[in-house]
Structure formats: C-alpha cells, structure tokens
Structure 1
Amino acid sequence: MTLTKATIIEKLQEELGSAGFTKSKSSEVVETLLTIMKDTMEKGEDILISGFGKFQVREKAQRKGRNPATGDAMMLAPRRVVTFKCSGRLRERINGGE
C-alpha cells in the first residue's frame, strides 16, 4: 500500500490527537512541511533529515535521446532532478534490523 498525504495527516492526528491536534491542524502541519521542502529544493538546496535520508537537487546536462514512439533522435533539454539517498539507519530498518 502506498502512503499518501491523506494517510500521513490521519496518522499524525491519531498520534497527537490527545495533545489537541485536530485533523485540520495536522493537515496544516503537513502542508507547511511540504511547502518548506518544495521551496528549499526549488532554490536548488538539499534537504538532510537525520536518521531518514537526503534529498538532493542535481543538474542534468543536455543530452541525446530518442522518441520511443517514433524512434527519431532528439535533444533532451538540461534539467534539474531530485534524488533521494536513505540514511544507514533507515536502510537497516528496511532490511530487517533495528
């Protein structure tokens, strides 16, 4: 099952509901966090979350490509992409160790 934004909001509210976190407050927190992350990456800056991993913005140069539908050669424009590298602790948890 894929973890969605709605599921994150729901789980946050469940975990912190006893502390007065309503569903709308949980939604506001998640939206604010995602906005901060998007704004940071838009500036080309990386995001490092200890114990979780690192989101990196990387530059890709212009390169030759091929249209898969027609097979025609074409030039792909330079662009920025986001990569994620998980932390060692997260990798251990994913692979069964805690």
Structure 2
Amino acid sequence: MTKADIVNQIAIRTHIDKRIVLETVESFMEVVKDSLANGENVYLRGFGSIIIKERAEKKARNISKNTIITIPAHKIPFFKPAKEFLTKVK
C-alpha cells in the first residue's frame, strides 16, 4: 500500500477532500521524522511505537577488496507493534 492508497482510503472513509487528507498525512510523517531526529520516541497507543535504537561500532569485511572496515556506531529507527496490532495481523 502506498501513501496515495492510504490517502484515498482515508478520504473515502471520512468523506474529507483528498488534498486535506494528503496534507494531514504528510504533516504527520514530518512530525514523526522531526521527533525521531530530536531523539524522541513516538508512541501510538493501539498501533505501536517508533523508537530509536543505537547500533554499536563493529568490524565488517569488504569481500571484493579483501579488507576489514569499521562500521561506526549509529542510530536507526525501529517499529515495535502494539499487542492489539499483532493480534489483528495474525
């Protein structure tokens, strides 16, 4: 499902103009991205949590050049679904 599909489904279910729904969805995504960039986790009760996980520095191997490289420590976003969400998907 794409963002356009989500916007269409919300517009159909709520009878709100697609332009307004699109602005709302894009604003939601911007707020989530900004929160994660500022180190804040996002908790959506009944849906799940989007949290920041920290990956430790590690050694890896470049097979084509046969060298060892160091991957620096970094942060990644991680989605943890809520129990309600998991039971509905299963």
Scaled by the length of structure 1, the TM-score of the pair is 0.84
CA distance in 2, matches of 1:72, 1:14: 55
Query: Percent of aligned pairs with the same residue?
Result: 24
CA distance in 1, matches of 2:43, 2:63: 36
1:52 to 9, 22, 47: 47
**SS in structure 2 of the partner of residue 56 of structure 1:** strand
Scaled by the length of structure 2, the TM-score of the pair is 0.91
Asked if residue 82 in structure 1 is aligned to residue 77 in structure 2, the reply is: yes
Structure 1 gap segments, 5+ residues each: none
CA distance in 1, matches of 2:86, 2:66: 39
RMSD over aligned CA atoms reads 1.3
Q: Structure 1 residues 64, 12: CA separation in 2 closer, same or farther (over 3 Å shift)?
A: same
Number of residue equivalences: 90
Asked if residue 26 in structure 1 is aligned to residue 24 in structure 2, the reply is: no
CA distance in 1, matches of 2:6, 2:64: 38
Report how far residue 61 of structure 1 moved: 2.1
- Residue 29 of structure 1 aligns to which amino acid in structure 2? T
